[in-house]
Amino acid sequence: MIALYRWWVIAMALKIAGATWDICWHFRWLRDDLAPPHMINTVGTVIVIGLVVFHTYTGIGADRATLRWMQWGLGIFLVAAPLDVINHRINGLDITAWSPSHALLYLGTGLMSVGLLRGWARYGGGDRYYYPITCFLWFTVLDNFLFLNQHQEYGVLGLAAWERGTPYAEDILLQFAADDLGRPLDWIAVESFTLPVPDWVYPTWAVMTGLGTLLLARQLVGRRWTATTITAGYLVFRCVAWGLLAAADFPISTVPFFLLAGAVAIDLSFRLAPRIRPFAGAAVVTAVAYLALRAQQTYIAAPPADYWSVLYTVVMFAAVWWGISYLVETERGRRLLSRGQTMTGARESTTPKP
């Protein structure tokens, strides 16, 4: 059973490697279905399909609830993949991370990750690498959410490169983006291509989904410095990828170093009394993350951000933190979770078939 989850680690690593290369690829060239990053991602997806089919027909390594998460996630992903191809056949550009077809791909991957984490927690406890693999699986969830923010992280440097007269993108890609807006190839067209969402999105998304994922990981894993460990691993990966891509003369991005400050704040917040933790913790974590982002923007580089968004981001993050604490730490919340697991068949194991 442990070997099956090791294969999951390989599959998810391939998918992340392919996706990381893919976004910088499409900041340089127009859509290409057979681009090398797509092929790496496809190899990972094929392994995932094989694993889900194996779990389904043998019942090994997955109870019914785990299997349902995996099946629904894979199903949504496999529906989204051809829709994404059709979308880009029509629209050409593959760089818009914030698109409906891409959202379905992220949703499918996210649901699979829920099943994967649940299955590993249930069956992987005896493995000596249990904690590192657990952190890696949470890393995949973090990367899945923060992938959308990479559009802004590549875009801010891409726009700066165009302003310097040394654009990363080939001429045909920039012209296509301009034609799509019905404009000449000017600053407005390039800015719309490289930074397509409002400035409040980047910090709010980073806190709500990125730090929200780390908060959930810290709450469920229950070990000190879990959020910091996962974030450090993510940033090391991003820095290594940055170096490799820069050496190969691909477009480069900013790296969200400010997340590390937020992750440390999450881990330290668990020293607060449980009754005040969701609200005091949310205030501290959100403030620290925004201040760290401002410092990174000033001294290194970061996408543009609307810092007034902190006023509503902190409220939403406090609500999320309170909800997680209620479900995990209170008797009534645990009963609700247990009832939901029963409805999905979580208490019934699928018996192996001959």
Q: What is the dihedral of CA 135, 256, 173, 82, to 10 degrees?
A: 30
pLDDT in tens, 59-101: 888 888 889 999 999 999 999 888 877 766 666 554 566 777 7
pLDDT score, position 347 = 44
pLDDT score, position 22 = 85
Question: Taking all residues of the chain, what is their mean pLDDT, rounded to a whole number?
Answer: 88
pLDDT score, position 99 = 74
- Only one residue has tokens 């949504």, namely 76
Amino acid at 175: Q
* Confidence band of 351 (pLDDT split at 50, 70, 90): very low
Weakest mean pLDDT among 103-112, 169-178, 198-207, 269-278? 169-178
* Confidence band of 225 (pLDDT split at 50, 70, 90): very high
- How many Å apart are CA 220 and CA 327, to the nearest integer? 11
pLDDT in tens, 180-222: 778 888 888 888 888 889 999 999 999 999 999 999 999 999 9
pLDDT in tens, 247-287: 999 999 999 999 999 999 999 999 999 999 999 999 999 99
pLDDT in tens, 287-344: 999 999 999 999 999 999 999 999 999 999 999 999 999 988 888 887 887 776 655 5
122 contacts 70 by C-beta, under 8 angstroms: no
Cα distances from 113 to residues 41, 64, 249, in angstroms, run 16, 15, 32
pLDDT score, position 93 = 54
pLDDT score, position 350 = 39
pLDDT in tens, 9-48: 999 999 999 989 988 887 777 666 567 888 898 899 999 9
* Confidence band of 234 (pLDDT split at 50, 70, 90): very high
pLDDT score, position 198 = 94
Flag whether pLDDT at 353 surpasses 70. no
pLDDT score, position 92 = 55
- Three-state secondary structure string covering the chain: CHHHHHHHHHHHHHHHHHHHHHHHHCCCCCCCCCCHHHHHHHHHHHHHHHHHHHHHHHCCCCCHHHHHHHHHHHHHHHHHHHHHHHHHHHHCCCCCCCCHHHHHHHHHHHHHHHHHHHHHHHHCCCCCCHHHHHHHHHHHHHHHHHCCCHHHHHHHHHHHHHHHCCCCCCHHHHHHHHHHHCCCCCHHHHHHHHCCCCCCHHHHHHHHHHHHHHHHHHHHHCCCCHHHHHHHHHHHHHHHHHHHHHHCCCCCCCCCCHHHHHHHHHHHHCCCCCCCHHHHHHHHHHHHHHHHHHHHHHHCCCCCCCHHHHHHHHHHHHHHHHHHHHHHHCHHHHHHHHHHHHHCCCCCCCCCCC
